[in-house]
Amino acid sequence: MADSFSKKENFKKKLQKQKEKAIRREDRKNTNDKGKSLDDMIMYVDANGQLTSTPPDNSNASVIDVNNIQLGAAPIQEEDPIKSGIVTFFSDKGYGFITEDNSKENVFFHSNNCIDIIKKGNKVAFEKERSPKGFSAINIKIIR
């Protein structure tokens, strides 16, 4: 049985599309920009911190000392282990909370960790210790 005219035309169109696609693929292979040398990819940073392909004018260039560049995370500065704060809550059961002066964070404490007898409103010095439920205060002393 013979193919109809439209089937032949569709087949011709399909073959033509395949040929065009192969030509485009070869063209992309020949004009591929991947794997450029480093000279082709040099980028500059302008005064606003934006990347540009044009080199900056050296009229207001500043010299950066390579030894001052720090790689990685900033070092953690050691903080004073003795904190100060005010007792904002003290329960008859022997626990309470101290509001830290610097961070205004509430720190839990228990009367077993107190050196002096304290009550609500006292200004105290203490050390923070990590506990399973967060931070807690230890070595609590009244200060004036």
99 bridge partner residues: 86, 106
pTM of the predicted model as reported, rounded to 2 decimal places:
0.48
Task: Work out the pLDDT band at 37, boundaries 50, 70, 90.
Answer: low
pLDDT tens digit string along 50-100? 888 777 776 666 777 888 888 888 888 888 889 999 999 999 999 999 999
C-alpha dihedral sign at 119, 108, 127, 94: positive
Query: Which H or E element spans position 95?
Result: strand 95-100
Per-residue confidence (pLDDT) for residue 97, from 0 to 100: 95
Per-residue confidence (pLDDT) for residue 65, from 0 to 100: 83
Q: Is pLDDT at 17 greater than 70 in this prediction? A: yes
**Averaged pLDDT score across all residues of the chain:** 86
DSSP one-letter code for 111: G
